[in-house]
């Protein structure tokens, strides 16, 4: 596997760091943004990138400007979306032959979907949400997802059933409203970080493997030409 450190220039902002991982005979590339509380090298996102590489999917992880500066305050939406666009463009230039997907963990996935809703991300075939942050903890609402009706490409929601930032009934209702564009994979017992109770008998590694198998299967279906069996 080839791993490359990148510098990604952002329109209207300073450059941010990125990590491109490309396995041999890659079939797709997934551009992954981090959450509001941890950067691109967080163990969860690193494990996602490594697991996707094992499954033949390249990844481009990147920092939002606030994380690059060492700040705890997330960027305003316009700057975050500019970072999303810059990272997606970088993936397209680096791996022009591969279908591209984009998304990320929590805040990163939401900023990616907002960017897509504002104006389609070039060459992106679908969006991937690793725990979509539907609402603040203990304040159930779906207002953060209203922009998703403007997203015209396939979306995959990987959600823990115990996610404090996404009450499952609200997520299920949202996915139903989005129709065939949206696919929901529920991780039974998973919280916002996809940890499950010890009594479940499952490890974090087993849960992640289930998630990544679902993700790569969905990617394969999404890029399959219409009419193929």
pLDDT at 228: 55
In a domain, 152, yes or no: yes
Residue 125 lies in a domain: yes
Number of helical H runs and strand E runs in the chain: 6, 8
pLDDT of residue 229: 47
Of the two residues 1 and 68, the one the predictor is more confident about is: 68
127 Cβ neighbours under 8 A, 6+ residues apart: 101, 102, 103, 109, 112, 113, 116, 151, 153, 154, 155, 156
228 is a domain residue: no
User: What end-to-end distance do the CA atoms of the chain give, in Å?
Assistant: 31
User: Residue 166 carries which DSSP code?
Assistant: S
**What's the chain's average pLDDT?**
95
Number of domains in the chain: 1
CA-CA distance, 215 to 38, in Å (whole number)?
22
Q: Is there a domain that residue 118 lies in? A: yes
Q: Is residue 229 part of a domain?
A: no
Percent of the chain with pLDDT over 90: 90
Of 178 and 14, the one with more pLDDT: 178
Query: Residue 199 falls within a domain, yes or no?
Result: yes
Q: What is the pLDDT of residues 131-150, one digit of tens each?
A: 999 999 989 899 999 999 99
Please compute the mean of the pLDDT values over residues 3-23 and round it to a whole number: 93
Q: Is residue 42 part of a domain?
A: yes
Q: Is the pLDDT of residue 16 over 90?
A: yes
154/174 Cα distance (integer angstroms) = 14
User: In whole angstroms, what is the distance from residue 71 CA to residue 146 CA?
Assistant: 28
Q: List the CATH number of the domain containing 133.
A: 3.40.50.1820
Q: What is the predicted pLDDT for the residue at 12? A: 75
Residue 227 confidence (pLDDT) above 90: no
Range of 21's domain? 2-223
- Of the pLDDT bands very low, low, confident and very high (cuts 50, 70, 90), residue 226 is low
Mean pLDDT score, 64-82:
95
Residue 219 pLDDT more than 60? yes
Give domain status of residue 192, yes or no: yes
E strand segments, 76-201: 100-105, 124-130, 155-160, 182-187
């Amino acid at each position: 596997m080839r791993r490359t450190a990148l510098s990604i220039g952002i329109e209207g902002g300073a450059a941010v760091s990125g990590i491109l991982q490309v396995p041999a005979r890659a079939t797709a590339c997934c551009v992954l943004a981090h959450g509001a509380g941890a950067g691109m090298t967080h163990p969860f996102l690193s494990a996602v990138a490594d697991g996707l590489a094992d499954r033949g999917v390249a990844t481009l992880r990147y920092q939002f400007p606030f994380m690059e500066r060492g700040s705890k305050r997330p960027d305003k939406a316009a700057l975050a979306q500019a970072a999303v666009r810059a990272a997606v463009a970088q993936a397209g230039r680096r791996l022009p032959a591969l279908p591209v997907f984009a998304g990320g963990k929590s805040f990163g996935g939401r900023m990616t979907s907002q960017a897509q809703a504002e104006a389609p991300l070039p060459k992106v075939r679908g969006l991937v949400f690793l725990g979509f942050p539907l609402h603040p903890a203990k304040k159930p609402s779906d207002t953060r997802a209203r922009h998703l009706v403007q997203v015209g490409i396939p979306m995959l929601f990987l959600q823990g059933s115990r996610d404090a930032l996404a009450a499952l009934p609200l997520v299920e209702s949202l996915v139903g409203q989005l129709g065939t564009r949206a696919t929901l994979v529920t991780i039974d017992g998973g919280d916002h970080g996809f940890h499950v109770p010890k009594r479940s008998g499952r490890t974090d590694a087993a849960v992640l493997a289930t998630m990544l198998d679902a993700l790569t299967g969905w990617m394969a279906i999404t890029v399959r030409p219409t009419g193929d069996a």
